[in-house]
Structure 1
Amino acid sequence: MSGLVGEDEVVELCRDLIRIDSTNAGDNAGPGERAAAEYVAEKLSEVGVESRILESDARRASVVARIEGTDPGRDALLLHGHLDVVPFNAEDWTHHPMSGEIADGCVWGRGAVDMKDMDAMILAVVRRRLREGRRPPRDVVLAFTADEEAGGRYGAQWLAQEHAEVFEGCTEAIGEVGGFSVSIGQDKRLYLIEAAEKGIAWMRLTARGRAGHGSMLNAENAVTELAEAMARLGRYEWPVRLTPTVRAFLEETSAALEIEFDPERPEATVAKLGPLARMIGAVLRNTSNPTMLESGYKANVIPQTATGHVDGRFLPGYEEEFFATVDELLGPNVTREFVYHDIAVETGFDGPLVRAMAEALEAEDPGARAVPYTLSGGTDLKAFSRLGIRGFGFAPLKLPADLDFSGMFHGVDERVPVDSLRFGVRVLDRFLDYS
């Protein structure tokens, strides 16, 4: 490993990206990703990488580029990261979310972990390698996408549908929400690599009844119908379903913790994961969380309709069971429609790419143990999987044991340790050589 340019540069790249406003509230009315895309394209151009900025709509921009490998006979590898971030309320933060400030050994700001950190790591590794004349063994396609935070309609989905040619030859990919460490004891760390994602079902529920005066009897109250249906969904105890990835994670984690894994009581293992239990606990089963309610226009008027929204997530292989249960819980007087619906994905935790990730981690952290896990949310991988690309979440970060990393995603005071960014650059550099 020669030089430290990439390690030093990654911090400034991350800070620069955080300072570019690319907030995405999901209404296509924000600043878009154009400024961030131009920044990325410029940084690639400086080391001789020709890129394309592709706009799906005004300001909704993604960047794609291809770096030729030394072995043209091999399939290509996709490295992807999104440029948009979720909105924020600056008054709630210790440091302004667009400052990119360095404090307490961390880079602070919206996108510090979701996912301008990975964007910066990819840029830093690519720039370092090309400055040193080190091309990857196989072609590497870079995709910095728009709109991931709203499902990718203006980003990865659009690219996969309208510009599939830029991914020609890609069979494997790495992206966000994986490769981060969870400390198990003094000298042992699990690195969670995403090998599966739950499917998404954001649903709008509608109840219809009979309008009338609020002072009179009314057995056809739409608000009552909707509230009861939402309560049934929100309180329903979904059964545990141990998918292959979830089971593998629990078995590996139990072994690392030196406890016996009991498939009848998986929560016992999850409970030992501290704050991470919120995210891991959500992949033991399907989930259905009510999130919004709307009805009426005056306190003494019973409205004819009432609407609500539910965030539903289903495990790979359990979509049919999920919707059959939802419809049963809704009852005959409440209908549903999709606000957003996307697939669940899962791949085996084996093969040369998995070995490359594990070996790159172990080379930089002898206490590393790579384990597969299922993400409770979703990423751009869903869109790329439709092109036949097998993907993993691998944005490697060695984290302090006391950092609530899962709480950083979409949270207040989002931040990433400086040392973790530098670690990620070293691991990704090795990974490209091993892959």
Structure 2
Amino acid sequence: MKRLILTLAALAALTLPARAEIAIQNVTSPGGITAWLVEENALPFTSLEIRFRGGTSLDRPGKRGSVNLMMGLIEEGAGDLDAQGFAEAREALAASYGFDAGVDTVSISAQFLTENRDAAVALLHSALTEPRFDEDAIERVRGQVLSHLASRATDPNSIAGDAWNAAAYGNHPYGSFDGGTEETVSALTRADIQQAFVDAIALDRIFVGAVGDISAQELGVLLDQLFEGLPATGAAVPERVAFGLPGGVSVVPFDTPQSVARFGHVGLPRDHPDFFPAYILNEVMGGLGSNGRLMDEVREKRGLTYGISTYLYPADLSESLIGFFSSQNGVMAEAIDVVRNEWSDMATNGLTQDELTAAKTYMTGSYPLRFDGNANIANIMVAMQMEGLPIDYIASRNDKINAVTLEDANRVAATLFQPDKLHFVVVGQPDGVTSN
């Protein structure tokens, strides 16, 4: 049976072709729960994506890592089934469940055969309403988390990310690693985990996407069955936090021949009217596959890194424009100077028409490739809902890209790229680079 579900999962990736013409239905269950659906009956298989807004930012004071640990425990037994019994029941149904925690959401992914739909939904319902949180399971998963934390302590990229977040966001939940620390995770009790579950899993923050062999009417019934018994409300989401890291350099000493750098400054929220020009500008600077400006200047022309990229990060509670690269200690200072120069040039001179045209071609041409499977489409639909995008966004997105003019892009470049506020967090032993 396990082989069957893996085969169907592979075939499901071929169910919907790589295209952006996808018919989305807005479904409301009899009980009032909403979801977006793409009905596709080529295979007797459905992918379901569920997200609850709030995520690890809901960790209570002194309980950092509780939501992350809780999500790792949901399928470790539910109702009358212990961890082994739950796993055996899932395997018998050829169902697949995934549970994950992020800074702004906790997510649940499910895939199941049409013939086993009712039983697969019932099993998932038990995990969402009757998680056992058995002590032996808690200790087993806690051990896995602690092992991951120990590994992160010697990973330069993790160290850079933690230092960046702490400096940018301080005591806000964004300011610390959401998996917690050895101290906080070791101290978490079963009651803390139960509280994290109540805080994070509630009807007032739920978003659902479904793709596959299921009708709108069937999905409505499924939603009410799946979420029956969930509390109406969860914990309050924290307040927004301003990006608080000024321009400059922070060096975190670490014994390694190659330093790691994270750099950037404040960005734009997703609903900002200039988001699409900013999106294009970021692609030209640090995207476009291997053809962005920074890849050309830092890697191709000077050989200072194997790779460098930037991205707009419009999180729920703050927004930033961030980049990453690593360089040998002896050339890190030069690489930082090149990045600063490119940042200044973009702010002062903006794009060329050729760059804008190339970016549009790349971005519109690669967009349909994202829709390469039921699970991916379900993920995209949930993200669209959470970002407040219209249901026809997939069809109109490329038009919005193509509508950006050179004047639009260069007007936004002058304010988006702020060389005086550009900050670098460098982990390593970089020659000629000091904190200021």
TM-score range, shorter-chain basis? under 0.3
Higher helix share: 2
**Relative to total residues, which structure has the larger strand share, 1 or 2?**
1
TM-score normalised to structure 2 length? 0.24
- What's the TM-score once normalised by structure 1's chain length? 0.24
